Structure 1
Amino acid sequence: MNKAELIDHVSARLGGRRQATVAVEVVVDAILREVAAGGNVGITGLGTFEPVDRAPRTGRNPRTGEPVPIPGTRAPRFRPGTYFKQVVADPGLLPEHGLAGARVSTSD
């Protein structure tokens, strides 16, 4: 599923593509900004988005075999939560009705 497909899926529940687009874009923006600033974003039942610092290291040029210094970098990481791991391993754990990761009642 890509971003457009996610928006289509959310729009079916929110009642409109415009509202769904705004909702998805706001969530993605919040995650990007927080992790870029060095913070973590934990979503219960899903997982944690966090920045990680990679130490500088020495690589090898594949053609010559010479050592090449690789500078340290900062990269994003996603660590899936326990529930996410469980339902991926056994999709039968997903509820037949309602939202899989909801913490509040969403029935109308």
Structure 2
Amino acid sequence: MNKAELIEKLAADADLSKKEAAAVLDSFTDTVTKALKKGDKVTLVGFGTFSVSKRAARTGRNPQTGETLKIKAKKVARFKPGKELSEKI
């Protein structure tokens, strides 16, 4: 399912126009993004938790040349599904 299909489904389920559903989805993604940037967790009970984790610096290897590379440390977004979601899948 892509973003357009998700908007269409949200609009149908919540009896909204597609424009309103798109605004709701954009607001949700913006809010989650801002919370993660601040280092907060976003927990939706029964659905899951969005969080940020730190990935340590490490050494990698270029598969074409075999040359070793230094990969910088960075923050990555994580999603851990909740119990309800896991059971439904």
- Superposed pair shares fold, TM > 0.5: yes
What is the match of residue 18 of structure 2?
17
- Pick the structure with greater CA Rg: 1
After TM superposition, what 4+ stretches of structure 1 lie above 3 angstroms from structure 2? none
Letter in 2 for 1:37: K
SS in 1 for 2:39: coil
Deviation at 1:8, TM superposition (A): 0.6
Alpha-carbon distance between aligned partners in 2 of 1:41 and 1:22, rounded to the nearest angstrom: 19
- Identical aligned residues as a percent: 36
CA RMSD in angstroms, aligned pairs only: 1.3
Which one scores higher on RCO, CA 8 angstroms, separation ≥ 6?
A: 2
Deviations 1:22-78 (A, max 9, x none): 111111111111112211111111101111100001112223433221111111011
Equivalenced residue count is 88
Gaps of 5+ in 1: 89-108
42-51 or 9-18, larger mean C-alpha shift: 9-18
Greater fraction strand: 2
